[in-house]
Amino acid sequence: GNSVTQMEGPVTLSEEAFLTINCTYTATGYPSLFWYVQYPGEGLQLLLKATKADDKGSNKGFEATYRKETTSFHLEKGSVQVSDSAVYFCALTPILTGGGNKLTFGTGTQLKVEL
């Protein structure tokens, strides 16, 4: 079956530090890959996505590249801010033929950014 593995959290960084959250996946074919973010007390927001190999998704200074050869979609940001503190979820949807769509999520990685 499909699965997503994320690095364990929490990750604690100082403001302006470099961020990497690792994500690897197992799926047949060429799934679409996503990063969602959940700020404290809020719902999930789509952060970025990539739908084919070597695509780079980017948004709000975050970026992730779809690496088929390593089945990875690591999230990076060059300089984090306190406002980036949240839980980050890596997810995939398989390529299906009319059978419906379902996001398979990783377990989430909590990021805490301190001054």
Partner 1 sequence: DTAVSQTPKYLVTQMGNDKSIKCEQNLGHDTMYWYKQDSKKFLKIMFSYNNKELIINETVPNRFSPKSPDKAHLNLHINSLELGDSAVYFCASSQGLEDTQYFGPGTRLTVL
Q: Which member of 89, 92, 111, 113 binds partner 1 (CB under 8 A)?
A: 89
Q: Helix and strand tally (H, E) in the chain?
A: 0, 12
| Contact status: 3 vs partner 1 (CB under 8 A) | no
| Contact status: 29 vs partner 1 (CB under 8 A) | no
**Both tokens assigned to 36:** 């969602």
First to last CA, the chain: 41
Closest CB to partner 1 among 25 and 32?
32
Closest CB to partner 1 among 14 and 45?
45
Give the Cα separation of 107 and 6 in Å (integer): 6
Site for partner 1 in 38-77 (CB under 8 A): 38, 42-46, 49
Closest CB to partner 1 among 45 and 79?
45
Give the Cα separation of 76 and 73 in Å (integer): 10
